[in-house]
Structure 1
Amino acid sequence: MRHKPTYLIVLLCFFLSMSFANSQSDKQKELEAKRQKYQNELKQINALLFSDRKKEKSLVSLVEDLSYKVSVRQNLIKVTNDQANLLTREINANQNEISSLRDQLKELKESYAAMVVKSYKSKSEQSRVMFLLSSDNFKQAYKRLQYIKQYANYQKEQGELIKSKTLRLQDLNTDLLRQKKDKDKLVQDNKLVKKQLEIELKEQEELMVSIRKNLNSYASQAKKKQQEIDKIDREIDRLIREAIAASNKKAGNTSTSSNTFVLTPEAKALARNFESNKGKLPWPVEKGVVKVKYGTQPSPIDRNISIKSNGVRIATEKNAVVRAVFKGTVLAVISQKNGNPAILIQHGNYITVYKNLSKLYVEKGDVVETKQQIGEVSTSREGETMLWFSLYDSNKPINPAIWVYKM
């Protein structure tokens, strides 16, 4: 019948609109997950870095903490704006679809009403029988019978279509009310976050004014700190190279230029197991936030000074216990004359490093299990408790944030 293509087109449009709505919903869920992540991170920052205002932190530490907090809050504002903008697009799309559905429903109801009137006028069984009997031949009678059936089915389909569109319209109106409510809440939440950001930026600027008065001194301190970091990184590199050379020598390989471990079958299996847990490794401390990320980044004190980090620096609570992120063997324990100890744990050709410890629970050669306690994090005189955590593939440092769960 002539009406069939129209019916199919309407259904196709309906399913396309539903598919679009589902993709929008998935995007909203993704943005909401990010928003929750930043909100939780801010709670952790407040708990671990700003819980005790009585302690006199150095200006440098305060600026670093505030810079980190500001960056997270800016990310929160951005993702909330993205959510609000997406909701605006969804609201507009729903309003357009509601308007279109109302027009379609009006047209369908008018068409359906006309069909009902027509059917009523020719409703009597006698008129149908006469319509069939007046056929010129059997073939024409059969076609007329088929037409009567098709017309009845079409009436039923139109009735079902009106019903489904009415339900869709009700759902859209409900969604529209919810979306407007959600958007209003997001806008209000963002106003509060922006207000807090303004306070923090003002506080940050006041601290920077104090620092700029004696910038050379603070820059010198930052360079000295980086030199100490480079020194322990060189020591870690030396220990790993020695371990690689020892594994090669044991395997009968006399080459001194090898940068990879020669592994036993058991060590290879351990390395494969470690690799299969990429992105799922536990945090080396129960509570923590990554204050300094992996890689080279400008100092918040002086943008001309670069901070080079072979791992991540995790701010945690006082007396925090350090845990091995995977089973392995303690490769080495570094004890520094003017610094805090560090532990290296080997997992096949992978090595995890835990720096800035105050207490050690293991020693070289110990076999450890996943989440086994290996020591405690040191707390500085300014009250800052920071674990420096690194990950190496043989002697090459790699980003641990990719390997640790939701880091």
Structure 2
Amino acid sequence: MSAQAQSAKQKALEAKRLKFQQELKQLNSLLFSDKKKEKNVISLVEDLSYKVSVRRNLIKVTNDQANLLTREINANQNEISSLRDQLTILKKEYSEMVVKSYKSKSEQSRVMFLLSSDNFKQAYKRLQYIKQYTDYQKEQGDLIKAKTIKLQELNTDLLRQKKDKDQLVAENRIAKKELEKELKEQDKLMSSIRKSMSSYASKIKQKQQEIEAIDKEINRLIREAIAASNKKAGKSSSSKGFALTPEAKLIAKNFVSNKGQLPWPVEKGVVKVRYGKQRSPIDPTLTINSNGVRIATERSTRVRAVFNGEVLAVTGQKYSNPTVLIQHGNYITAYRNLSKVYVKKGDQISAKQEIGEVFTNNEGQTMLGFSIFKDSKPQNPASWIYKM
């Protein structure tokens, strides 16, 4: 059971390691491959900070794997030593038994052993003893064979484990060198930022204010839709939740049943900004409040709906790109920062249907803002989208 538990843990760690490796590949592809476009310092630091965090996660998971392998190697070595001791004892006992059997192997000796019985019951018992002794000999031979095979298997596992550990250690050594390079680059960028921190801080605040303005507009549209649904159903317009028809209730139920399994709103992407409050990588005194996630993706990437629903609104403010809101019962998904929109209010949408295209700025950044709301309350998209 202990071995099975360790094996399961090793598989889980390997899955995490591969995930972080894949994420680093995507980061390099999406954020660090376009050398023609010059990013501003804020974007560079944000991208590099995220890459450093992923690299650190990869190093930690690889370390955990190597440490677990070390424990497994030690356990295997102890078991191999124990099996060798058992085999030595078994072989000694077996050889003594074979010698003893050889000395009394003649059929005449067995017959005399039976005929010298005092009565039939004693003869029967002696016959049983002979059979049991023969069976025991066979069992001991089989046991030696089984333990020898197990010893060979453990030796093979041990060699594989040592090879795997050496590979992990070598990979981690390379990863640590890459991390050192990235940290030096990060320090260099931060040094240039510190000279005019107030200027950069004001830019971050301005960006946050623009995002909050979009959040406010989305919240207004959702509250208006909630009020309209309640008015239509003859309920109080002050209600904070949607008044749902039977069909809308079914859509909402199906949406909830797919929690954690919903497809990504883009085919390829990495989450650069996660849900909730977080410190700015530029100025730790500033807090970024995110009602959803921001996904870095490729230029000209098409956005797709994560579930069946109806387009609630298509909106865009003076200084922001269009946002599409799709209603799924009393759940809303929001897709921000689009350059093109393929749908309009009232359209019926199916899962994975293309609804627009992500905007790419002058620095070559293609970033989709994605949010999920239950009525007007924001949800963490990582809890809903598959492996986010």
- Whole-Å Cα distance in 1 between the matches of residues 82 and 64 of structure 2? 27
2:328 corresponds in structure 1 to 347
Q: Residue 314 of structure 1 is aligned with which of 271, 286, 295?
A: 295
2:64 corresponds in structure 1 to 82
1:10 corresponds in structure 2 to none
Aligned pairs (5 A) from 1:102-141:
102-141=84-123
Report the Cα offset of residue 371 of structure 1: 0.8
Q: Any idea what the Cα deviations from partners look like across 1:223-281, whole Å, max 9, x if unmatched?
A: 1111111111111111111111111111111251x211111111111111111111111
Q: Any idea what the Cα deviations from partners look like across 1:350-379, whole Å, max 9, x if unmatched?
A: 110000111110011011111111011111
Q: Any idea what the Cα deviations from partners look like across 1:151-182, whole Å, max 9, x if unmatched?
A: 11111111111000000000011111111111
One-letter amino acid of the structure 2 residue matched with residue 382 of structure 1: E
1:217 corresponds in structure 2 to 199
Local SS of the residue matching 1:330: strand
- Whole-Å Cα distance in 2 between the matches of residues 265 and 147 of structure 1? 79
- Whole-Å Cα distance in 2 between the matches of residues 396 and 254 of structure 1? 19
- Whole-Å Cα distance in 2 between the matches of residues 212 and 364 of structure 1? 46
1:324 corresponds in structure 2 to 305
- Whole-Å Cα distance in 1 between the matches of residues 64 and 17 of structure 2? 10
Q: Is the 8 A contact 2:228 2:237 kept in 1?
A: no
Q: Residue 48 of structure 1 is aligned with which of 13, 22, 30?
A: 30
- Whole-Å Cα distance in 2 between the matches of residues 54 and 384 of structure 1? 12
Residue segments in structure 1 that go unaligned for 5+ positions in a row: 1-18
Aligned pairs (5 A) from 1:187-202:
187-202=169-184
- Residues 1:64 and 2:49 aligned together: no
- Whole-Å Cα distance in 2 between the matches of residues 277 and 44 of structure 1? 26
1:260 corresponds in structure 2 to 241
- Residues 1:284 and 2:265 aligned together: yes
- Whole-Å Cα distance in 1 between the matches of residues 82 and 312 of structure 2? 69
2:283 corresponds in structure 1 to 302
Local SS of the residue matching 1:380: coil
Q: Residue 29 of structure 1 is aligned with which of 6, 11, 14?
A: 11
Deviates more, 1:247-256 or 1:236-245: 247-256
Report the Cα offset of residue 144 of structure 1: 1.4
Aligned pairs (5 A) from 1:225-236:
225-236=207-218
Local SS of the residue matching 2:277: strand
Q: Residue 228 of structure 2 is aligned with which of 230, 246, 269?
A: 246
Local SS of the residue matching 1:221: helix
- Whole-Å Cα distance in 2 between the matches of residues 352 and 369 of structure 1? 13
- Whole-Å Cα distance in 2 between the matches of residues 149 and 295 of structure 1? 75
- Whole-Å Cα distance in 2 between the matches of residues 25 and 102 of structure 1? 24
Using the size of structure 2 for normalisation, the TM-score is 0.98
Local SS of the residue matching 2:340: strand
- Residues 1:92 and 2:74 aligned together: yes
Local SS of the residue matching 1:253: coil
Give aligned-pair identity as a percent.
Answer: 73
Deviates more, 1:140-149 or 1:301-310: 140-149
Q: Is the 8 A contact 2:69 2:161 kept in 1?
A: yes
Deviates more, 1:162-171 or 1:119-128: 119-128
Q: Is the 8 A contact 2:34 2:364 kept in 1?
A: no
Deviates more, 1:347-356 or 1:19-28: 19-28
- Whole-Å Cα distance in 2 between the matches of residues 254 and 170 of structure 1? 76
Deviates more, 1:235-244 or 1:103-112: 235-244
- Residues 1:101 and 2:83 aligned together: yes
Residue segments in structure 2 that go unaligned for 5+ positions in a row: none
Report the Cα offset of residue 147 of structure 1: 1.3
One-letter amino acid of the structure 1 residue matched with residue 245 of structure 2: T
Report the Cα offset of residue 138 of structure 1: 1.8
CA RMSD of aligned residues (A): 0.9
- Whole-Å Cα distance in 2 between the matches of residues 68 and 167 of structure 1? 49
Q: How many residues align?
A: 388
